[in-house]
Structures are given as C-alpha cells and as structure tokens.
C-alpha cells in the first residue's frame, strides 16, 4: 500500500483548497518564518474561535509543539512590522480551537510595501549591471537575459523579476568566491537567464543557468535557497 503524498500547506493555501484549521495555521507559521528570514511578505491576520465561545485575533507567530503542548502563538497587538511597545503574544492550545477565519488572504498576492516598486525600464538597466558584476566575479564575460522577449510585458512578472535579479547577483557573486564551487561556475556558466513561472527552479545546460521564480511572493527564493538550487545544478 503506497503512502499518500503529504499536502504542502503553502500550496494548499495558495490554491484555495486548504482543508483544515491546522493546515492554515501551519501555512501561516511557515510564512511568518519566511518573512523573518527576509521575504517582503504581507501577512494576513487570523481569528481563532475557541470552544469556550471566545475568539482571539492576531498574526500567527508560530505553530507547533511547545512545552505546554501543541498549539499556536499569536501576535495579538502591535502587529507585524510594528516596532513599538505593546506587542502581546498569546498561546492557544490545539485542544481549545474550534474554528478559524483567515482575513484578507489576497494580501499574499503582493509583496510588502517595503519592497521598492520596480518597472520594465528599471529591470532593463539593472540586468546588464548584474551581468557586469558577474563578469567581474568570473574574470570573464558573462551575459544575462530574461527568459522571453515578452517577459517584461506582463505586469505580474515585474516584482518577481526584480527580486530575482537583485538576489541572483548577490548569490552568484558569493558562490564565485567559494573554493571549488567558483571554479565550476566559471567553467560551466556563460549565460544567466531569468524568468517567472509557476514555481522556483534552477537548471544548467549548454552553458546557460536558467533560474525561474514563482509569481507568488511567498515562494520567491531566499538567498540560501537560491544558492542551494544553483549548487544542485553543478556536476
């Protein structure tokens, strides 16, 4: 008998087919972790309804096992992005939760306002600058391009590509300075091609390193994920 594939709570949330309170809490906990690791995410609040009839509204700080048992930590005042006083954290055990409302989930579709707005013109200038940076790190000519001629004509692609351009330059420059890895990059990579798709991925073939980012900010690659994906393409 085959073991059923575990449902990815983030994918379930994105596709609107989350099936339980616990999947929502797990997904929001993962999103908060990715936010604290550097992704410019807008995080929706949740309201947790308790069996006692009370309700608690806040941002999911963490969901999992604690000394008090399994449950969720909610930031119930101040709010994410608020650096002032008055931030409370409330622990709610699993056993007292009856239902949950996820408020304004559409905020997940756009990056946080702290991320500067980009534009096709900005990206057309920034991409050659990234290629120059890589060429300096390689010690030889490296070119950079977008996946298709129409990549910048879709408005929904602009911010994902801006994130990918910025962090690809940083990650590849750092990898180029690493022993062994840098030598393989210089030998194998002559062109970097960036695109937007349904999911993040990396592929190296015929001297071209293809990097694809998701349209969804929650699935944009962190620098550690980008570095790992690039290294996984190397022989």
pLDDT in tens, 117-133: 999 999 999 999 999 99
Q: What angle in degrees, to the nearest 10, is found between the helix axes of 181-188 and 120-138? A: 120
Residue 2 pLDDT more than 50? no
Q: Are residues 129 and 223 in the same domain?
A: yes
Instruction: Establish if 3 belongs to a structural domain.
Output: no
Q: Are residues 149 and 220 in the same domain?
A: yes
Number of domains in the chain: 2
Are 29 and 64 in contact by the 8 Å Cβ rule? The answer is: yes
Instruction: Establish if 1 belongs to a structural domain.
Output: no
Instruction: Establish if 4 belongs to a structural domain.
Output: no
**CATH for 98:** 2.30.30.100
Cβ neighbors of 53 (< 8 A, separation 6 or more) are: none
107/103 Cα distance (integer angstroms): 9
Higher pLDDT, 203 or 107: 203
Q: Are residues 82 and 144 in the same domain?
A: no
pTM, to two decimals = 0.85
- Chosen domain end from 45, 73, 107: 107
pLDDT at 128 (0 to 100): 96
Q: Residue 224: which domain range? A: 120-233
| pLDDT tens figures, 51-97 | 999 999 999 999 999 988 899 999 987 544 544 445 789 999 999 99
């Amino acid at each position: 008998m085959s073991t059923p594939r575990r449902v990815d709570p983030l994918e379930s949330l994105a596709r609107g087919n989350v099936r339980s309170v616990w999947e929502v809490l797990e997904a929001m906990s993962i999103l908060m972790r990715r936010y604290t690791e550097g992704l410019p995410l807008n995080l929706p609040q949740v309201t947790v309804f308790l069996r006692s009839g009370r309700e608690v509204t806040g941002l999911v700080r963490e969901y999992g096992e604690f000394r008090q048992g399994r449950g969720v930590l909610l930031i119930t005042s101040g709010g994410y992005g608020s650096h002032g006083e008055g931030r409370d954290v409330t622990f709610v055990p699993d056993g007292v939760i009856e239902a949950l409302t996820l408020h304004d989930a559409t905020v997940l579709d756009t990056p946080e306002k702290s991320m500067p707005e980009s534009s096709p013109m900005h990206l057309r200038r920034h991409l050659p600058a990234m290629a120059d940076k890589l060429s300096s790190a390689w010690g030889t000519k490296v070119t950079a391009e977008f996946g298709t001629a129409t990549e910048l004509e879709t408005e929904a692609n602009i911010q994902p590509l801006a994130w990918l351009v910025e962090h690809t330059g940083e990650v590849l420059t750092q990898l180029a300075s690493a022993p062994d890895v840098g030598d393989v990059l210089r030998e194998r990579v002559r062109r970097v091609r960036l695109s937007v798709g349904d999911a993040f991925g990396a592929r190296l073939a015929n001297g071209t390193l293809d990097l694809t980012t998701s349209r969804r900010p929650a699935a944009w690659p962190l620098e550690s994920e980008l570095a790992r994906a690039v290294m996984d393409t190397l022989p």
